[in-house]
Structure 1
């Protein structure tokens, strides 16, 4: 089996690419980073350092190669050779690569290939593959769209593995460090043809339960650790969560967001409480040095209507559940300042020019006036 993976960065190599290669899938990375692409072509392997309480080891990933995404024709030609396409590039880049994917699908059909092709966007976003499908279909003719509906599976997934940036190792420039924990859950109802057997890829027919579990727990907790930790003067996630006050606050926030998940999806309360503890332990991993500015970047996206802070808050409103800690967490997100982050600069400018109330309404799109007032009050108290 052969796969084309867009994105040869830390997540691409350390998470999805490794899982595929470990299941004897030949992985071809597509990226615009010339040095990384050339190294992958030359070495056809790379090392992954896995760190955690019970493990600190380096594993070699083999049977890999690469193509430069700037060489579009070579990229398009690969679509007639592969059985699976995956991505780990981020929402903005997905829009950029959608044109090449559309051309690749068209070329595959023009070559008379009618075996199914499955595409999985492994992104930190809700229904990322559905988003990618819409972008790809914008570039397809109606005839090719109809054929793609039959032969191309656009499979949504939920991914979870902390892969922080680390100082490059000059002696091993492709080395990537990842945490021991990983989770890749896919919507089994969206595949076309036989579902590939990939160790570490879990199947579900209720993906949204796991998408929101991750969003409301890992993503919410990570962001809150960053914003509250930064407000207290910390530089790293690990040192932030080691502060008992920060840890207690983050846990309380995740318990409020967790109550929404328990109500909505029927997660067992004890099992979810254990999941929260596992997340807190991951934040404290002594081998992962993750900067609060990296985790807290793009605050406007994190404060948007369907993201990690506002969506769980909306759930508490929907079910009439407590949300005092979530409101305080949103207030701390509003305090995030980073001159190197355009969204943080825009947030600060909006607060200065338009005030807290207008800023909260604009970026969160919340409608509940009482809750908005509580966020304003909490921000002003900080």
Structure 2
């Protein structure tokens, strides 16, 4: 019998990316999810379809040998994780406090039956410091016999695959880009990884997590913020990037991040490595067939404008190093008036509330509030420097 890969979280990344990689490496796939409709559909068909699209080309893959259980069925969760060769988790930061007690119980159950068979968990989340974040939530719920570091491999990842908003009426067909590089922490695993052209074990993983956040995520959101400012009628990222001026300004911002990453991680990347990465990303961002919208890429401003996220996070590092960040700063300024609606003309309500909370504030207070600066340990002097420089970019 083929080994079992358990994927906790059957959303877009879980199904179109993580489970796909392990299916193509010879694993059976079992999903754990809270969506009963999805669980029932997967159990009825025992398969689903992934359509990989790039411009005029579509490639179809049927992922078979699939089953699913509801996350509330603790007994089934325990048995699945006890049998798993590997576990993937992709649920998002907000869901982790809810799944952690159940996951810890399942880990304890496995340990009681297989104390010498450690569990490797692929943390397929775009969360900075995800290993420490997950460990802090799991530890209080583990049985006393389980030593977390000794028994559980918490492997951070860099998730670069882009998956647009899907058709909710058919959960068994997903559209995504044909990018499937799963970058994982080389040092985190207790067991050998399966041979796969798509799995890339790297060290230090922090450099690749930062590359994803500060080049990929930053550049993608920059295209949304600048694109909406200049072409509010264009719905997709590919459409706004047809404007050569937007493409050039986004590339300039990405290269500012490149320079900072080279300074932060000497010897990990080369300038040509990161330049090639930037050009590949711009090509992928411009994939018309994907239909990725300005609304999806730019929304959730409260998170994306934080002091530790894609824009301000790299601005702060650049400022500390005395390096240029004006291109990125212009994108942050544009984000403060981002109101792109979805395809039906509906704005993202959380962003409407967020932007309303900034009305009437001084520029410094606007940046302090938008960035959640008070939640950081960063100095007020640094805030003043960053806010003053940004004001000049308006």
TM-score of the superposition, structure 2-length normalised? 0.90
- Equivalent residue for 1:351? 358
Is residue 370 from structure 1 mapped to residue 385 from structure 2 by the alignment? yes
After superposition, give the CA deviation of every residue in 1:112-161 in whole Å (9 maximum; x if it has no partner): 443111111101222323312211112224x2442x32121111111110
Q: Secondary structure at the match of 2:91?
A: coil
- Equivalent residue for 1:287? 289
After superposition, give the CA deviation of every residue in 1:40-72 in whole Å (9 maximum; x if it has no partner): 112111111112258421111112111111222
Residue from 93, 102, 105 that aligns with 1:103: 105
Superposition pairs for residues 121-200 of structure 1, below 5 Å? 121-141=123-143, 143-146=144-147, 148-168=148-168, 173-200=171-198
Residue from 331, 341, 346 that aligns with 2:348: 341
Q: Secondary structure at the match of 2:365?
A: helix
**Shift in CA distance, 213/112, structure 1 to aligned 2, threshold 3 Å:** closer
Is residue 36 from structure 1 mapped to residue 38 from structure 2 by the alignment? yes
Superposition pairs for residues 238-249 of structure 1, below 5 Å? 238-249=238-249
Shift of 1:300: 1.5
Q: Secondary structure at the match of 1:120?
A: strand
Q: Secondary structure at the match of 1:190?
A: coil
Q: Check conservation: 2:55, 2:289, Cα contact below 8 A.
A: no
Structure 2: gaps spanning 5 or more residues: 341-345
Question: Could you tell me how far apart the structure 1 residues matched to 2:149 and 2:328 are?
Answer: 41
Q: Check conservation: 1:55, 1:180, Cα contact below 8 A.
A: no
Question: Could you tell me how far apart the structure 2 residues matched to 1:67 and 1:197 are?
Answer: 27
TM-score of the superposition, structure 1-length normalised? 0.92
Question: Could you tell me how far apart the structure 1 residues matched to 2:319 and 2:278 are?
Answer: 21
Q: Secondary structure at the match of 1:180?
A: coil
Q: Check conservation: 1:32, 1:68, Cα contact below 8 A.
A: yes
Shift of 1:104: 0.3
Question: Could you tell me how far apart the structure 2 residues matched to 1:345 and 1:54 are?
Answer: 36
Residue from 202, 205, 208 that aligns with 1:204: 202
Q: Secondary structure at the match of 1:318?
A: helix
Superposition pairs for residues 295-306 of structure 1, below 5 Å? 295-306=297-308
Q: Secondary structure at the match of 2:273?
A: helix
Question: Could you tell me how far apart the structure 1 residues matched to 2:290 and 2:114 are?
Answer: 48
**Shift in CA distance, 112/326, structure 1 to aligned 2, threshold 3 Å:** closer
Question: Could you tell me how far apart the structure 2 residues matched to 1:373 and 1:136 are?
Answer: 42
After superposition, give the CA deviation of every residue in 1:168-219 in whole Å (9 maximum; x if it has no partner): 575xx41111111232111121112434444411111211111111111110
Question: Could you tell me how far apart the structure 1 residues matched to 2:141 and 2:390 are?
Answer: 42
Is residue 220 from structure 1 mapped to residue 235 from structure 2 by the alignment? no
